[in-house]
Amino acid sequence: MKQYFIPKFIHYLLIFIFFSSSNVLANNQHFYEKLVDDWQIIFPDGNRNSAGPRFFKYILDQNLDYEEFMQFNKLYCAVSGSLIPPDAQPDEIFLSNVENDEKICGQYYKCCWPCLCDVMKYSETKKINIDFKDQSKDIYTIVIDNPCNKNDFPKLVNRDYFCEGNELNKEYTYSVDNKLVIGLLHNAKKCDTYDLDYIKNDQITGPMCEARNSMPLEELNFGMGDIFIRLAN
């Protein structure tokens, strides 16, 4: 019987990938548990509705290195404020760039599929530079307009987490040019034609999001995004 052998370098590469993936998952579990342990610090009243901005600011204040910061930001949904399991897989989405309206593609970690539709329709992305503990890096943040001057600020959201009067609360949130940062777009880059076709033809970010995003606001009574939409719209 003919035998097949895996070359040594491939064998070692597979071992390296396996242990690297295991270490990342273990670190993510540790970060997840810290978010759970610090829940009352992040949300003193326990209300996390649409409070992705609170998670982002809390994580930013931890003085992390770049990789730790990126891993932490995979563990919450920027739309709903829900925690996300450490082994969750992201979805591909695109957002409009605040600076020039070009499409930026990247990965988003969701709690439920409607959040993909809501973040794509009601938010934008803005590239900013942040000094981490180990280096300075550009990141693509997910942003919405300042909601603090809304007359119909959603009652299910703790306004004090976001606002001081009509200004954004700098203690509890992070903002750039009066844009409220709600989360992070991972592995972001300028979209090419293939990226856009892939996202538009995906079952969720294509037809399902098209149907959801064409519904009147009063009919959006499923998913956590209906609260977010009232905040961001």
How much is the pLDDT for 7? 58
Task: Give average pLDDT by consecutive 10-residue segment, the chain, 233 residues.
Answer: 49 39 66 95 93 96 96 96 95 97 97 94 97 96 96 91 94 95 98 97 96 82 74 91
User: Domain for residue 19, yes or no?
Assistant: yes
Residue 129, in any domain of the structure: yes
Residue 146 counted as domain residue? yes
pLDDT at 221: 66
Please give the model's pTM, rounded to 2 decimal places.
0.87
The whole-number pLDDT of residue 14 equals 39
Domain count, the chain: 1
What is residue 27's predicted lDDT score, i.e. its pLDDT?
75
- Residue 2 forms part of a structural domain: no
Strands 167-168 and 175-176, by their bridges, are unpaired
Q: Which domain holds residue 223?
A: 8-232
Q: Is residue 187 in a domain?
A: yes
73: in domain? yes
Question: Which one-letter amino acid corresponds to residue 154?
Answer: P
